[in-house]
Amino acid sequence: MSGQPRTENGRLAVLSVAALGVVYGDIGTSPLYALRESLSPAEHGLELTRLNVLGVLSLIVWSLLLLVALKYVVVMLRADNEGEGGILALTTLVNRSLAPDDRHRKVALVLGLFGAALLYGDGLITPAISVLSAVEGLKVRSPGLAPAVIPIAVAVLVLLFAIQR
């Protein structure tokens, strides 16, 4: 070890893992995509049986429970940068916890910036995927509307972004 107290190294490890994983905070919509993709027999050959559906649902539920309980409640809620949170706040906390001459400081900064880039990318693609998934439901109800799905999704997105500040 580098002579730092064990608790300091443990805190740094926890903050680093949290900073890298912040992009997976999209726990509201991602399970819907995972469920749909997992239960696609044409894509993956998984037979649609009651046992397979319950198995996939079980994996999703336990993943969500563990993610929320362990990561957000135990780790993320403890990371506080003067009332601010998020990936940049975590990067700042990690940066503050390292000595100015620590060789890990630059790596932590690059990883924090990489996490921020992932978060911004997720913020760009999530609205499009969510709206498209919602509008794709029209194909199930009325298969004749299939050619209109993308234009409707684009119109909804343009409208949503036009009315928000």
Tens-place pLDDT, residues 88-118 = 888 888 888 888 888 888 888 888 888 888 8
The residues that bridge with 45 in the sheet, in sequence order, are none
Query: Could you tell me how far CA 30 lies from the centroid of its own chain?
Result: 8
Q: What is the mean pLDDT of residues 72-78?
A: 69
Name 23's Cβ contacts closer than 8 Å, sequence gap at least 6: 87, 115, 118, 119, 121, 122
Alpha-carbon separation of residue 54 from 38, 58, 83, 118 (angstroms): 12, 6, 41, 31
Alpha-carbon separation of residue 19 from 73, 97, 124, 153 (angstroms): 15, 14, 19, 33
Predicted confidence at residue 27, as pLDDT, reads: 55
Claim: this prediction has a pTM higher than 0.95: no
